[in-house]
Amino acid sequence: MKKCNIFLFGNIVKIIFPYNIKIIEELKKIPSRTWNPLTKAWQIAELTEVNLLKIVDIGKKFNLSISKEIFSLLAKKGEENKEEKKLLEEVVCTLEDHFCKINKGLV
């Protein structure tokens, strides 16, 4: 089987491969995927960490080629999510502290 190409095209991941129903079934599990009949490529515009992980998983599962940019973007999304999680934890701690003070009648 000819190797698949999974690569970034602007802000979209494009996936081009010879017809393979098993790959198509896996791609259809990604909610934001679309088929472009003009380029004969599957496209994913919603580049969340979850979607990128699914794309990489599909590539590995079917022994397909994946561009380095996909892995770089995935690493970047992972770092962004760590920062978001840290900020949310700080907000939750602040709120918990505030509610504790309210319950104790300190506010």
CA dist 42 and 28 (Å) reads 10
pTM metric for this prediction: 0.71
Q: Name the residue among 33, 36, 3, 34 with its Cα closest to residue 18.
A: 3
Per-residue pLDDT tens over the stretch 6-27: 999 999 999 999 999 999 999 9
Predicted confidence at residue 2, as pLDDT, reads 46
End-to-end alpha carbon distance in the chain: 68
CA dist 67 and 37 (Å) reads 22
Residue pair 46/54 in contact (Cβ under 8 Å)? The answer is: no
Q: Stretch 64-91: mean pLDDT, rounded?
A: 80
Q: Stretch 78-98: mean pLDDT, rounded?
A: 67
CA dist 82 and 75 (Å) reads 11
Outline where DSSP puts E strands in the chain: 5-9, 12-16, 33-36, 41-44, 65-66
